[in-house]
Amino acid sequence: MSVYYHDYLHLDRLLDCQHLASAGSPAGVAHDEMLFVIVHQTYELWFKQILWELDDVLARFAGEALDESEIARVIDRLARVVEIQRVLVDQIDVLETMTPMDFLDFRDLLVPASGFQSMQFRLIENRLGVRAEDRVTFGGARYTERLRGGQREQVLASEHAPSLHDRAEAWLERTPFLDAFDFWGAYQRAVKELLAHDRQIVADNPNLTDDERTAQLAAFEQTFRQYEALVDPEAHAALVQEGSRRWSHRAFQAALFISLYRHEPALHQPYRLLALLIDVDEGFTTWRYRHALMTQRMIGRRVGTGGSAGGAYLTRQAERGRAFPDLFALPTFMLPARALDPLPSELAEQLRFHYQSHLDQPGRP
Ligand code: HEM
């Protein structure tokens, strides 16, 4: 029998999954509850697709080496996740056609259920590398406490599985070329010149009060300490300890090296991959802020159906729930191309791709 559209997509089941809580209530069906249900279900379908992509990416990263074609596939998958995230953010506009009053027609029927209990959302967070200690708690309970038995176990297990954060770190640590020349010596000289220049601008700024100048110079010393950490593993370890860094010293160095010399052919794909990790992290953070704003618009200062402080909780979580904070710290250490030493010619040669036709190969007719 030929494939039939409706059967292939199991639409009988899919279209029979919209059961409104208000249908059985004394006040009768709340018109906007259908939108509320369908928007949430659509999110969950997209979450499924994101997990599908992330699992493939993690499987590719799990090997000993990530060759060029693997990197290309990882890039494709992550680029798809980023596009889905745009849809997820845009979808909030659709939900916002519901007014706060329309929401009140059925909101109380939902307590204590909440998006907070989305198992797939938690799996995505953990696959990316959001840690338990990055989570804002409320009611004195771990986020997993609000999940049911089997789902709780699945989410707990995902906390201990290697995340994209961990896999990317291990991949960066394996970056060749890092020890190939005295990059850090040259880099440090260039940075010192740049910082001395910046410091002078602060010191000479006639528009600052003495107090402002003192505060800005103190902030400057803090930045300087972070630069020192680039070449000093112990200073880096101290930053990890205080929570300003997550990646190892070597991984952080590799990410910087790749970013600075991104136009070298062999580093360009790795650079694209790092840029996509930033996009994915930014995509989720954008969604978190957008969802927090929508929540404030919808329920004002009321508490959430799940029992949190509502908008205030969500905004705090948006600030903390980041998977790749190191990548966002990286631009502090960028230098303009003119300040960078050119790579030694032998290394530059290694970083180029050469197409060798079979006619060029020795021994070939
Ligand atoms: C009327 C619309 C919505 C309102 C007022 C709202 C409100 C809230 C509130 C207050 C929370 C915090 C937990 C709580 O106390 O319940 C929350 C969490 C959450 N919501 Fe929504 N939400 C809405 C729509 C959505 C949609 C469409 C999704 C898509 C799946 C969603 C996903 C989530 C997720 C994943 C969390 C957990 C976030 C975290 O812990 O970082 N929400 N929501």
**CA angle at 229 for the pair 228 and 232, rounded to the nearest 5°:** 90
pLDDT band, residue 295 (cuts 50/70/90): very high
Pick from 67-76, 189-198, 206-215, 289-298: least confident: 189-198
Could you tell me if the CB of 229 is within 6 A of ligand 1? no
Count Cβ neighbours within 10 Å for each residue of 158-192 and write b for 16 or more, e otherwise: beeeebbbebbbebbbebebbeeeebbeebeebbe
Q: What is the mean pLDDT of residues 338-343?
A: 81
Question: Residue 200 carries which side chain, given as an amino acid letter?
Answer: Q
pLDDT band, residue 225 (cuts 50/70/90): confident
Contacts of 35 (CB under 8 A, 6+ apart): 94, 95, 97, 98
Positions of E strands within the chain = none
Domain edges within the chain = 5-350
**pLDDT, tens digit (0-9, with 9 covering 90-100), for 300-309:** 988 888 888 8
**pLDDT, tens digit (0-9, with 9 covering 90-100), for 85-110:** 999 999 999 999 999 999 999 999 99
| Token code pair at residue 363 | 């021994």
Q: What's the pLDDT at 47? A: 98
**pLDDT, tens digit (0-9, with 9 covering 90-100), for 140-149:** 899 999 999 8
Q: What's the pLDDT at 327? A: 96
**pLDDT, tens digit (0-9, with 9 covering 90-100), for 129-179:** 999 989 998 888 999 999 998 999 999 999 999 999 999 999 999 988 777
Could you tell me if the CB of 270 is within 6 A of ligand 1? no
**CA angle at 96 for the pair 90 and 100, rounded to the nearest 5°:** 160
Q: What is the mean pLDDT of residues 76-80?
A: 98
**pLDDT, tens digit (0-9, with 9 covering 90-100), for 256-282:** 999 999 988 899 999 999 999 999 999
Nearest atom in ligand 1 to the alpha carbon of residue 92 is: 27
* Residue with tokens 């970083």, as numbered in its chain: 351
Q: Give backbone dihedrals phi and psi of 138, rounded to 5 degrees, phi first.
A: -140, 150
Residue nearest atom 35 of ligand 1, based on CA coordinates: 115
Nearest atom in ligand 1 to the alpha carbon of residue 321 is: 41
Q: Look at residues 121, 110, 118 and name the one whose alpha carbon lies nearest to residue 146.
A: 118
- Hey, which CATH number is domain 5-350, 1.20.58.480, 3.30.930.10, 1.10.760.10, 3.40.710.10? 1.20.58.480
Could you tell me if the CB of 121 is within 6 A of ligand 1? yes
Could you tell me if the CB of 118 is within 6 A of ligand 1? yes
* DSSP code per residue over 100-135: HHHHHTTGGGGTT--GGG-HHHHHHHHHHT--GGGS
- Tell me which DSSP letter residue 139 carries: T
pLDDT band, residue 364 (cuts 50/70/90): low
- Mean model confidence pLDDT for the chain: 91
Could you tell me if the CB of 263 is within 6 A of ligand 1? no
C-alpha 57/C-alpha 330 separation (Å) is: 23
Between 46 and 359, name the one with better pLDDT. 46
Nearest atom in ligand 1 to the alpha carbon of residue 116 is: 37
**How far apart are the CA of 114 and the centre of ligand 1, in A?**
6
C-alpha 62/C-alpha 329 separation (Å) is: 26
Angle 210-231/233-242 helices, nearest 10 degrees? 120
**pLDDT, tens digit (0-9, with 9 covering 90-100), for 298-337:** 999 888 888 888 999 999 999 999 999 999 999 888 888 8
Could you tell me if the CB of 6 is within 6 A of ligand 1? no
Instruction: Identify which of 51, 89, 95, 116 to mutate to test ligand 1's pocket (most ligand atoms within 8 A of the CB).
Output: 116
**Conformational region of residue 177, where left means phi above 0, alpha means psi within -120 to 50, and beta covers everything else:** left
Percent of the chain residues topping a pLDDT of 70: 96
- Tell me which DSSP letter residue 24 carries: G
